[in-house]
Amino acid sequence: MSGHSKWSTIKRKKGANDAKRGKIFTKLIKEITIAARMGGGDIEGNPRLRSAVTAAKGENMPKENIDRAIKKGTGDLGGAIYEEIMYEGYGPGGVAVLVETMTDNKNRTVADIRHFFAKSGGNLGEFGCVAWMFDKKGTLSVAKEGVAEDELMDMALEAGAEDVVEEEDSYQIVTAPEAFNDVVDRLEKNEIKFSDASLAMVPKNSIEVTEEKTAKSLLRLLENLEDHDDVQKVHANFDIADDLMEQLS
């Protein structure tokens, strides 16, 4: 979980400082729209849509925004037509990077992403070059305040979770994709608040980044990708020691 959880932690801290909620909402609306377009507007009958709506609620998105995005997806409201494309490549230090995008102009998107990789000293690769290094998992973040680790562990595992990982200020729950909604249901029934609830590509193994210059270049690449309007999610198989992270912050 190192690469996934480390980047998630960094994003949470930066998000609190940078107040990028508007950009987060835009990405979530795209995901809700395309999920509704592909699988229909019934939240209970469309697992991908339910996952997207759960993530939106975790970010406190207003209900009217969610409803409007679903209607765009089902065709009840007009809107841009997005195409899903996954890009793969290697960042600084040989770190594998997966970039999930939703775009209405793939030529623009691929040009920008290739530029980010090249600028960081990495390179954009061919389809399938790094995807095999990741497994698709459901992930949820639960703040440590207000919940005991043993209680959360029992609750999550009974609902079908694979693991609960302790981090600095939160617990990361990991599930198989098919168990994700069951775990969400169990937490909601027990009034356990969570965030960052989504399906993610979790690395099977992580690369230890130990040099400050490499770490800076890598984080800059990930931030540039995350900030791009067409990018939905970024996944990478890296780990950076806490003491090095403190030097970089």
* pTM recorded for the entire structure: 0.80
> Which among 220, 222, 211 has a CA at the least distance from the CA of 247?
211
Task: Please say if the pLDDT value at position 96 is more than 90.
Answer: yes
Which segment of 5-9, 72-76, 125-129, 200-204 scores lowest on mean pLDDT? 5-9
Give me the percent of the chain exceeding a pLDDT of 90: 52
Residues facing residue 142 across a β-bridge? 171
43 SS3 class: coil
What pLDDT sits at residue 143? 87
Interval 14-37 mean pLDDT: 77
Task: Please say if the pLDDT value at position 8 is more than 80.
Answer: no
What pLDDT sits at residue 17? 47
pLDDT per position as a tens digit, 193-223: 887 788 889 899 999 999 999 999 999 999 9
> Which among 135, 192, 203, 201 has a CA at the least distance from the CA of 159?
192
Determine the Cα angle at 112 with ends 100 and 89, to 5°. 50
pLDDT band at 58 (very low <50, low <70, confident <90, very high): confident
Question: How many H-runs (helices) and E-runs (strands) does the chain carry?
Answer: 9, 10
Nearest 5°: phi and psi at 176? -70, 150
Distances 9 to 28, 135, 196 between C-alpha atoms, Å: 19, 19, 10
pLDDT band at 241 (very low <50, low <70, confident <90, very high): confident
